[in-house]
A and B are shown apart, each in its own frame.
Chain A
Amino acid sequence: MNAAALPIISIMLAIPMVAAIACLFVRAETARVLALGATLLNLLLGAWLWVSYDPAGAQWQFVESLQLFGPIGWKLGIDGISLTLIMLSVFLMPICIGASWHAIDKRVGEYMAAFLLMETLMIGVFAAQDLLLFYIFFEAGLIPMYLIIGIWGGAERIYASYKFFLYTLLGSVVMLIAMLWMIQTAGTADIPTLLNTDFPVEAQKWLWLAFFASFAVKMPMWPVHTWLPDAHVQAPTAGSVILAGVLLKMGGYGFLRFSLPMFPEASADFIPLVFGLSMVAVVYTSLVALVQSDMKKLIAYSSVAHMAIVTVGLFTFNQQGIEGAIIVMLSHGLVSGALFLCVGVIYDRLHTREISRYGGLSINMPKYALLFMLFTMASVGLPGTSGFVGEFLSLAGAYKVSTWATLIATTGIILGAGYMLYLYLRIAFGEQKNADAAAMSDIDGREMWLLAPIAAAVLWMGVYPESFLAPIRRDVATIVERIERAAPAGDSKLKANDPTTAKYRVGGHGEEKNKAEGSHH
């Protein structure tokens, strides 16, 4: 619909890129302002993108196509799923810049350049419509993140940066071979075409595994999650925000964009693998999170648990599950980002992430305690917050496929409540046993400006999720329709026509489904 108008996505890619280059050549103060300006401008453009996106229009909107680089087509375009994730990226970026305003005082220009470059690459990943272009954006993100962790990170930053880089690289290179094979076989690298290409079932398995290697590491799924706690703990606050907020979502986006619609049969075959790993992840990482003494590590492990619910939701093969998984991704992007910011707020004051060094902060930092409480509750999945909507939908979807997987995945919510409330208890409640922690000042205006928008978004998503479901509904339906032929039979033996259960039923099966979905609108 807007094809003839401005190449809006290219502009959104170009703005941070240009600003990044400019940041390298200016003084620290200017670099901060420049970075904030560029990210805010992109946020505006993103908002415009959201407003002018037509949920009922063509599947791919704002399409651009140029043959600039020979076989690599400069093909961009978004559907509703891309749109929401791009929105998440552009929303978090100015917050990241703001979070680094005072915390980063060395090599500011380079830092801002790395973040702006990151923004370009994130938008690129979600908008690329050419397989090779996607891979370039996907992989290129390693370089700025490596530098962010390595230059501005904590004491063990070098180990963490290596681990992050090599782990993700090893996961991804095999995917490249699979992509080359697909291009060879299908004769095109165009993603919309590939989405409707049926690969031979036997080949699908290998391709699926190759893509899985990459996305499982990125996601991260147990047992290849070990790079994440290291990277999070060592990264600067804003680095953690962007890592948890957007980079992890690339894994989920990959499953959704590639694994499911391109290899439906293989995806169905590997459901036990995905569910199995996810179940282990939910229980195991939740328990690990429970015993952490480092705040960032705790939130990092909780990320792995939440991402496991995403993978469960994605591989349910039904509308609810996939919609739920996307909402969990968005919600987790906001909530974990906000939690890392909350950690950053007190880390900036006391320079420690040890939970035991704090306590009773609700006395001297009431505003902080309130916001932290909100994000804790959202992470737990309290109704009214974004966490609930996503987790409920994805688990409801999962129930149709596997009762056991749902049962075990649901323990994640209980365990999540355990470790998050325990964290909150130790930080905000109780006695003020440390004098220095008790003397900390409450959040200032800048920090309020960082956290308040996220809080608003979390509540918005919790109270009126339709705003976020509307753009993705049709695209999820397209995917569900595409993979329907391989959809697994559920393990629940519904006795729909059994007269003995008639009295427990309100209506037909179809009506129940509508109710389950409708109850959140």
Chain B
Amino acid sequence: MDLNASLFLVRPEVILSFSALALLLLAAWRSDSGRLASILAVTALFGAGAFVVDFMATGTDATAFDGLIGNDAFGNFAKLLIYFAAAISLMIAPRFLENAGAMRAEYPVLILLAAIGMGIMVSATDLVTLYIGLELNSLAAYVLASFARYDGRSAEAGLKYFVLGALASGILLFGMSLLYGFAGSTSFSAIGTALNGDISLGMIFGIVFVLSGLAFKISAAPFHMWTPDVYEGAPTPVTAFFASAPKVAASVLLIRVVIEAFGNEAMVWQQIVIVVALMSIIIGAVGAIGQQNLKRLLAYSSINNIGFILIGLAAGTEQGVAAMLVYLAIYVAMTLGSFIVLMQLKARDGSYRETFADIAGLSKTRPALAAIFAIFMFSLAGIPPLFGFWGKLVVFQAAVAANLLPLAVIGIAASVIGAFYYLKVVKVMYFDEPADVIAPADDAVLSWTGGILAITQSPLGYLAIPVLAALSAQAARALF
């Protein structure tokens, strides 16, 4: 395959790379051009997204650069989600970061670089490509976490993220080297062929280490410890980004590794995934109960949700993978929306608030905002008729179809624990006396994006089921 054909298949990454480099020059030239750079970056993401849509429409399924990177419906579905989340994170950020005195033109550049990294992650068909994509995303993310560098919490978040992220990368690399050593190749398909029948202890170690490293990246329990601290410390638009795009990328990457490389050894990874899924659901639910800070609460909520997503993976079937993609799509909208609501919690003195005490009685002072937040909370809890219910339904359907009834029963019963703290948010907003600290709405971008995302979570979202089902089924089919 010649270079041109390969480059053709990675058009989205190419256009994003050039845009990121161009914007970097712009940033070097004029560091106060954050807004302009953001607009240009969103445009670049839309351009890249258009290429992805084109690939999806033509049903491309090929590998480039001698099998290092793939271009299939599965990766493209994930890329659309990632670009969407990145674009939203860019749109909502400027005003917030300006208020925090941290808006610089590097912000969109870093988001773009992270998006490129994630694009590579989801299309990687080789351990080396996987690692390059993962690190490109992670390095950008470490900087983003500490983007409000004069804020102690933000700097702390960046440092924590970096140290623990480096550790996880080390674990991942160790597992990858074991796999390479025992399988003799870094390509997923070659590993998949080697991992068949009797496998050696070294290979099992390799699988466990790789899964552990990836579990860290999706912040699944028991590798979730960094999440609340990083989510709390990072500037809220960055947290919104962390909770959405990288989750998609890492989950999708995990699916691809598990299905393509470890697919023949379901006995080895399935029990790990089941344990991790249940632990994430329970720890995510129980850990959130005592939280006073809403960002920490949403951090635990993301751990909880990853648990539900992993139930689809535990099923290990095409249906399960499609269910995970549906859940991820819904999850991205829910979680971005929740953080957009948090970003609107601005007190009259211009400071941003993020605790329960600040949203007390919000339904009286900001009824629309409270209603939108309540929609997201009920949706995250998976209560019908909100759209979050559909995500839970499809993953549990996949688990039931794969005959994992105990897992389904325990998982869904544990979701009731989670409902408790989502209800607490609604209770504080609707039942408590108003604290009246939140100023009236003043940011049209946030109001509109939050409102539109809330509509997608309302029962109207169910109208999207046929489209979502078709796309996710097509994507999952590409993997099997």
Chain A residues engaging chain B, CB cutoff 8 angstroms: 68-72, 107, 110, 132, 135-137, 139-140, 142-143, 146-147, 150-151, 157-158, 161-162, 165-166, 169-170, 173-174, 176-177, 180-181, 183-184
Binds A, one of B6-14, B213-221, B411-419: B411-419
Q: Are B378 and A70 in contact (CB under 8 A)?
A: no
Q: Are B409 and A174 in contact (CB under 8 A)?
A: yes
| CB contact between A68 and one of B363, B405, B412, B463 (< 8 Å): that residue | B463
Min C-beta distance of B421 to chain A, whole Å: 11
Q: Are B465 and A142 in contact (CB under 8 A)?
A: no
Taking A71-B469, A181-B400 as contacts, is the C-beta distance between A136 and B427 under 8 angstroms?
no
Min C-beta distance of B18 to chain A, whole Å: 39
Q: Are A177 and B465 in contact (CB under 8 A)?
A: no
Q: Are A162 and B466 in contact (CB under 8 A)?
A: no
| CB contact between A177 and one of B378, B412, B466 (< 8 Å): that residue | B412
B408 at interface by CB-CB < 8 Å:
yes
Complex Cα distance, B363 from A68, in Å, reads 33
Taking A146-B423, A161-B427 as contacts, is the C-beta distance between A173 and B463 under 8 angstroms?
no
A162 proximity list for chain B (CB < 8 A): 420, 423, 427
B21-57 Cβ-contact flags toward A at 8 Å (1 or 0): 0000000000000000000000000000000000000
Q: Are B419 and A169 in contact (CB under 8 A)?
A: yes
Q: Are A150 and B427 in contact (CB under 8 A)?
A: yes
B415 proximity list for chain A (CB < 8 A): 173
Q: Are B463 and A69 in contact (CB under 8 A)?
A: yes
Complex Cα distance, B426 from A150, in Å, reads 10
B147 at interface by CB-CB < 8 Å:
no
Complex Cα distance, B469 from A71, in Å, reads 9
A180 proximity list for chain B (CB < 8 A): 393, 396-397, 400, 408
Min C-beta distance of B307 to chain A, whole Å: 15
B65-94 Cβ-contact flags toward A at 8 Å (1 or 0): 000000000000000000000000000000
B430 at interface by CB-CB < 8 Å:
yes
Taking A177-B405, A181-B400 as contacts, is the C-beta distance between A69 and B416 under 8 angstroms?
no
Q: Are A136 and B413 in contact (CB under 8 A)?
A: no
B462's closest neighbor in chain A, by CB?
A69
Q: Which chain B residues numbered 260 to 283 have a C-beta less than 8 Å away from chain A?
A: none
Q: Are B412 and A70 in contact (CB under 8 A)?
A: no
A146 proximity list for chain B (CB < 8 A): 423, 426
B409 proximity list for chain A (CB < 8 A): 174, 177
Q: Are A176 and B465 in contact (CB under 8 A)?
A: no
Taking A174-B412, A177-B409 as contacts, is the C-beta distance between A140 and B400 under 8 angstroms?
no
Q: Are A165 and B419 in contact (CB under 8 A)?
A: yes
Cβ-closest 10 pairs across A and B? A70-B465, A136-B384, A69-B462, A173-B412, A180-B400, A140-B385, A70-B466, A150-B431, A170-B416, A139-B384
B373 at interface by CB-CB < 8 Å:
no
B383 at interface by CB-CB < 8 Å:
yes
Complex Cα distance, B394 from A180, in Å, reads 9
Interface of A is mostly: helix
Q: Which chain B residues numbered 464 to 480 have a C-beta less than 8 Å away from chain A?
A: 465-466, 468-469
Complex Cα distance, B461 from A136, in Å, reads 14
Taking A165-B423, A174-B412, A177-B396 as contacts, is the C-beta distance between A139 and B462 under 8 angstroms?
no
B384's closest neighbor in chain A, by CB?
A136
Interface of B is mostly: helix
Q: What are 10 of the A-B contact pairs (CB < 8 Å)? A: A68-B463, A69-B466, A70-B468, A71-B465, A72-B465, A147-B426, A174-B409, A177-B412, A180-B396, A184-B400
A132's closest neighbor in chain B, by CB?
B393
Most chain-B Cβ atoms within 10 A of its Cβ — which of A158, A162, A177? Answer: A177
| CB contact between B431 and one of A68, A110, A137, A158 (< 8 Å): that residue | A158
A173 proximity list for chain B (CB < 8 A): 412-413, 415-416
A142 proximity list for chain B (CB < 8 A): 383
A165 proximity list for chain B (CB < 8 A): 419, 423
Complex Cα distance, B311 from A177, in Å, reads 13
Complex Cα distance, B285 from A169, in Å, reads 15
Complex Cα distance, B415 from A137, in Å, reads 19
Most chain-B Cβ atoms within 10 A of its Cβ — which of A70, A132, A140, A166? Answer: A70
A176 proximity list for chain B (CB < 8 A): 393, 396, 412
Complex Cα distance, B389 from A181, in Å, reads 17
B401 at interface by CB-CB < 8 Å:
yes
Q: Are B430 and A151 in contact (CB under 8 A)?
A: yes
B393 proximity list for chain A (CB < 8 A): 132, 176, 180
A183 proximity list for chain B (CB < 8 A): 397
A176's closest neighbor in chain B, by CB?
B412
A70 proximity list for chain B (CB < 8 A): 465-466, 468-469
Q: Which chain B residues numbered 435 to 480 have a C-beta less than 8 Å away from chain A?
A: 462-463, 465-466, 468-469
Complex Cα distance, B413 from A169, in Å, reads 9
Q: Are A169 and B397 in contact (CB under 8 A)?
A: no
Q: Are B430 and A150 in contact (CB under 8 A)?
A: yes
Taking A139-B384, A140-B385 as contacts, is the C-beta distance between A170 and B396 under 8 angstroms?
no
A135's closest neighbor in chain B, by CB?
B384
B463 proximity list for chain A (CB < 8 A): 68-69
Q: Are B416 and A169 in contact (CB under 8 A)?
A: yes
B389 proximity list for chain A (CB < 8 A): 136, 139
Q: Are A143 and B378 in contact (CB under 8 A)?
A: yes
Complex Cα distance, B226 from A206, in Å, reads 41
- 11 further contact pairs, Cβ within 8 A, besides A139-B383, A180-B396, A180-B400: A69-B466, A150-B427, A150-B430, A151-B430, A158-B427, A158-B431, A169-B419, A176-B393, A177-B405, A180-B393, A180-B408
Most chain-B Cβ atoms within 10 A of its Cβ — which of A139, A180, A183? Answer: A180
Complex Cα distance, B387 from A136, in Å, reads 11
A170 proximity list for chain B (CB < 8 A): 413, 416
Q: Are B462 and A140 in contact (CB under 8 A)?
A: no
Complex Cα distance, B397 from A183, in Å, reads 9
Most chain-B Cβ atoms within 10 A of its Cβ — which of A140, A151, A157? Answer: A140
Q: Are B431 and A151 in contact (CB under 8 A)?
A: yes
Complex Cα distance, B384 from A176, in Å, reads 12
A132 proximity list for chain B (CB < 8 A): 393
Q: Are A177 and B462 in contact (CB under 8 A)?
A: no
Complex Cα distance, B419 from A400, in Å, reads 44
B371's closest neighbor in chain A, by CB?
A24
B465's closest neighbor in chain A, by CB?
A70
B413 proximity list for chain A (CB < 8 A): 170, 173-174
| CB contact between A166 and one of B397, B408, B419, B468 (< 8 Å): that residue | B419
Q: Which chain B residues numbered 209 to 239 have a C-beta less than 8 Å away from chain A?
A: none
